[in-house]
């Protein structure tokens, strides 16, 4: 599975689990930490955990495991590190505060309109 394919699969998983305001950004040319960021909002901390769990479970079925998971216990910002794809799941206030969308605005947006229900 390529990093773009993984990104799109993660978007699909998050969308199916009712994540809000999902964005995928190609950051490969801007940083060495990964190729893509997926950013999504959860309605609550339990929802953030459920989104994280779902991504881990579904990708695990493809034999893909995260390098690490950060922030799961507090669940206001959960980071799933899949090497070339970094998944950021935020609660609303935390997403606004850190504003990753703005910080990585120089990245190339990935067209996910065919995947998401929006």
Tens digit of pLDDT for each residue in 29-59?
898 889 999 999 999 999 999 999 999 999 9
Please answer whether residues 79 and 86 qualify as being in contact, where contact means their C-beta atoms are separated by less than 8 angstroms.
yes
Q: What is the CATH number of domain 3-109?
A: 3.30.460.10
Q: Taking all residues of the chain, what is their mean pLDDT, rounded to a whole number? A: 94
Longest dimension (CA), the chain: 34
* Buried residues in 52-66 as b, exposed as e (16+ CB within 10 A): bebbbebbeeeebeb
Q: Is the model's pTM score more than 0.85?
A: yes
- The CA–CA distances, whole Å, from 56 to 12, 80, 87 equal 13, 8, 11
- Domain range summary for the chain, segments of one domain joined by +: 3-109
SS3 of residue 22 by DSSP: strand
Please answer whether residues 89 and 48 qualify as being in contact, where contact means their C-beta atoms are separated by less than 8 angstroms.
yes
């Amino acid at each position: 599975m390529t990093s773009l394919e993984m990104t799109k699969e993660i978007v699909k998983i998050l969308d199916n689990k009712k994540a809000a305001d999902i964005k995928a950004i190609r950051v490969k040319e801007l940083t060495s930490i990964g190729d893509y960021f997926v950013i999504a909002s959860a309605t609550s901390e339990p929802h953030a955990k459920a989104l994280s769990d779902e991504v881990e479970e579904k990708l695990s079925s493809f034999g893909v495991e995260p390098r690490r998971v950060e922030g799961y216990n507090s669940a206001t910002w959960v980071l799933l590190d899949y090497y070339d794809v970094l998944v950021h799941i935020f609660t609303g206030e935390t997403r606004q505060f850190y504003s990753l969308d703005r910080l990585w605005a120089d990245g190339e947006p990935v067209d996910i309109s065919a995947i998401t229900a929006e």
